[in-house]
Amino acid sequence: MHGVSTVQRPAATVKVIREADVVVVGGGPGGLGAAVAAARKGARTLLVERYGCLGGMATVGGVNPFMPNHVQGKRLDTGVFSDWCDEIRELGGLMPDGSTFNPEIAKLAAERLCLSAGVELLYHAWFDEPLLSGRCIDACLFTSKSGPVAVRGRVYVDCTGDADVAARAGCRFEFGRESDHLAQPMTTNFDVGRVDTARMPDRKAINELYRQAKEAGRLTCPREDCLWFRTTDPSRIHFNTTRVVMHDATDVERLTAAEIEARRQIVEYLAWLRECVAGFEECELLTMGQHIGVRESRRVKGIRYLMRSEVEGLCKFPDGILRCRYPIDIHNPAGAGTELVSFPPDEWYEVPYGCLVPEDVDNLLVGGRPISVDHAVHSSLRVMPPACTLGQAAGVAAAMAAEQGIAPRRLDGVAVKEALLGQGVWLVWEAGAGGEMRERAGTGRLTA
Ligand SMILES: Cc1cc2nc3c(=O)[nH]c(=O)nc-3n(C[C@H](O)[C@H](O)[C@H](O)COP(=O)(O)OP(=O)(O)OC[C@H]3O[C@@H](n4cnc5c(N)ncnc54)[C@H](O)[C@@H]3O)c2cc1C
């Protein structure tokens, strides 16, 4: 039985071990974007992460590849995300397709990028709770290897993916889809090696084998098909195909159950691959996400809220801080099926600055996936390249707010966009004579 008895936490005096202008909590793609951007904008910046490395879902979650957020073959995420890719490439970990990467090298690259921007790092510190002073966060408490520690910033950026900081600070949030509050399913990604890829059936044939195995009851994953990708190693295949539905990633009991269920599915998959799929006879399990992949949980209510109807209308804003054309991509929160709605080839939608600014706390911004949008919009901008750019926008805004001594809600969103342009995020494109998109003169990679 759970939850029937309680204990009292004793009051304690906790040492403030670090202070900074901008404190970023969470070092996934969003946190990387936020921390590097804030530091480049001149803020003393601290990035605090619960694990011993950066990358979040890209590394600890074993998620691969970077999904394309492109228009006419050109990348829309040209800021910190591009720099991260360049660093991964330089260290020999990026495939020529520009999207498949070696996750170990992605860790190294993210850390190098932070250190070279002057970001201070604190690992092995798990955000616990904020100490509030009115509508502001005064300090954040972390559980660490040294016991409880505190850090203090002028402005905080919540990049925990699950909006842990915002939720504990009392911000209102939405959870999952509007009809029943179920979030997209969780997935433990895994890689297998020693695959004779020359003999592998094509995607269609693998899916037919998968369908047969499901019908026969030997595979019990609720997914409708088998999703796999090639990797940086020709004999290694990456699977993004387990599916755990109707579990809340912010509830430790449900999260534990989800980890166990996903690994149960992996055991079934391995036996099926070895026995039924050509080329996999000798395969071995190489890695599983060390944390189950969480697609969706909380979305913080901001001073602006972006809805599906707006992005389907390809909305643009003077303070648009992200351009995105990755499809609406909703894995069924309750079972089989995936809804995929693409945008026109030469088009994108924009996210206004206010989606990063919580309504309820004054010195906090949200970066990465849990921003103020509905379930459908979240399903599009949650992928790693735009998540990194959303973090970058929050980081730039945090640095500006700290420097000016004002709340992020008081910043002019157009000025935040201009600052992002200054960091090279924004390739402002316009239609050329032949309808092709081209970069507007005078924009591109400038310095902060
Ligand atoms: C199964 C799955 C498959 C996906 N497939 C793809 C794909 O193929 N391509 C793609 O581009 N995107 C994909 N995505 C989406 C993408 O990986 C995430 O949406 C993206 O990583 C979000 O970035 P983020 O920084 O907001 O969050 P995260 O990547 O989740 O990073 C959050 C960070 O915060 C840290 N953190 C969390 N809580 C705390 C705390 N309390 N204290 C301290 N630190 C904390 C975490 O350890 C982590 O480092 C997939 C996601 C999942 C789950």
Q: Which of 105, 140, 111, 131 is nearest to 123 (CA)?
A: 111
Counting Cα atoms < 13 Å in the Cβ hemisphere of 340 gives: 3
The minimum-distance atom of ligand 1 relative to the CA of 55 is 49
- Distance from residue 4's CA to the centre of ligand 1 (Å): 33
The predicted model gives 147-170 an average pLDDT of 98
Record the tokens describing residue 177, joined without a space: 């889809």
* Amino acid 447: pLDDT: 22
How many other C-beta atoms are found inside a 10 Å radius of the C-beta of residue 260? 11
The predicted model gives 332-349 an average pLDDT of 95
* Amino acid 158: pLDDT: 99
* Amino acid 2: pLDDT: 60
- Distance from residue 215's CA to the centre of ligand 1 (Å): 33
- Residues of the chain with pLDDT > 90, as a percent, come to 91
* Amino acid 186: pLDDT: 98
- Distance from residue 254's CA to the centre of ligand 1 (Å): 18
* Amino acid 229: pLDDT: 97
Q: Nearest residue CA, atom 15 of ligand 1?
A: 383
Record the tokens describing residue 70, joined without a space: 């492109």
In the DSSP assignment, the letter for residue 306 is: B
Q: Nearest residue CA, atom 53 of ligand 1?
A: 293
In sequence order, what E strands does 145-231 have? Answer: 147-158, 173-175, 186-187, 190-193, 228-230
* Amino acid 439: pLDDT: 53
Greater model confidence, 324 or 435: 324
Mutate to test the pocket of ligand 1, among 69, 111, 126, 160 (most ligand atoms within 8 A of CB): 160
The minimum-distance atom of ligand 1 relative to the CA of 187 is 1
- Residues contacting 283, CB < 8 A, separation 6+: 192, 193, 194, 195, 237, 270, 273, 274
* Amino acid 433: pLDDT: 58
The predicted model gives 187-212 an average pLDDT of 98
* Amino acid 441: pLDDT: 39
Lowest-confidence pick of 70-84, 150-164, 207-221: 70-84
Q: Beta strand 120-122 with 45-48: parallel, antiparallel or unpaired?
A: parallel
The minimum-distance atom of ligand 1 relative to the CA of 384 is 11
* Amino acid 74: pLDDT: 86
- Residues contacting 94, CB < 8 A, separation 6+: 85, 88, 100, 101, 102, 105, 232
Record the tokens describing residue 252, joined without a space: 């430790």
The minimum-distance atom of ligand 1 relative to the CA of 126 is 42
* CA–CA distance, 371 with 34 (Å, rounded to integer): 14
Banded model confidence at residue 115, pLDDT cuts 50, 70, 90? very high
The predicted model gives 9-22 an average pLDDT of 96
Q: Nearest residue CA, atom 38 of ligand 1?
A: 160
Q: Which of 136, 166, 121, 129 is nearest to 17 (CA)?
A: 121
The minimum-distance atom of ligand 1 relative to the CA of 293 is 53
* Amino acid 346: pLDDT: 85
Q: Which residues line ligand 1 (CB under 6 A)?
A: 25-31, 49-51, 56-58, 61, 63, 65-67, 126-127, 159-162, 164, 187, 189, 240, 293-295, 368-369, 382-384, 387
Banded model confidence at residue 442, pLDDT cuts 50, 70, 90? very low
The amino acid that residue 266 corresponds to is I
**pLDDT above 60: residue 204:** yes
- Residues of the chain with pLDDT > 70, as a percent, come to 94
Counting Cα atoms < 13 Å in the Cβ hemisphere of 110 gives: 31
- Distance from residue 63's CA to the centre of ligand 1 (Å): 8
- Distance from residue 31's CA to the centre of ligand 1 (Å): 10
30-73 pLDDT, tens per residue? 999 999 999 999 999 999 999 999 999 999 999 999 999 998 88
- Distance from residue 27's CA to the centre of ligand 1 (Å): 9
* CA–CA distance, 350 with 431 (Å, rounded to integer): 17
The predicted model gives 147-173 an average pLDDT of 98
**pLDDT above 70: residue 431:** no
**pLDDT above 90: residue 438:** no
Question: Which residue is it, tokens 């303070």?
Answer: 319
The minimum-distance atom of ligand 1 relative to the CA of 385 is 11
**pLDDT above 90: residue 425:** no
Alpha helices in 216-349 (DSSP H): 252-276, 308-312
* Amino acid 403: pLDDT: 98
368-408 pLDDT, tens per residue? 999 999 999 999 999 999 999 999 999 999 999 999 999 99
The predicted model gives 315-342 an average pLDDT of 96
* CA–CA distance, 246 with 261 (Å, rounded to integer): 12
| SS3 readout for 338-373 | EEEECCCCCCCEEEEHHHHCECCCCCEEECCCCCCE
**pLDDT above 90: residue 301:** yes
- Distance from residue 383's CA to the centre of ligand 1 (Å): 9
Cβ(343)–Cβ(325) below 8 Å: yes
Q: Beta strand 338-341 with 429-431: parallel, antiparallel or unpaired?
A: unpaired
* Amino acid 430: pLDDT: 55
The predicted model gives 117-124 an average pLDDT of 98
* Residue 438 bridge partners (DSSP): 430
- Distance from residue 28's CA to the centre of ligand 1 (Å): 6
- Distance from residue 25's CA to the centre of ligand 1 (Å): 13
**pLDDT above 60: residue 436:** no
Record the tokens describing residue 342, joined without a space: 């693409």
- Distance from residue 247's CA to the centre of ligand 1 (Å): 17
Q: Nearest residue CA, atom 41 of ligand 1?
A: 127
- How many helices (H) and strands (E) are present in the chain, helices listed first? 10, 23
Q: Nearest residue CA, atom 37 of ligand 1?
A: 160
The amino acid that residue 320 corresponds to is G
- Distance from residue 399's CA to the centre of ligand 1 (Å): 23
Helix (H, G, I), strand (E, B) or coil at 297: coil
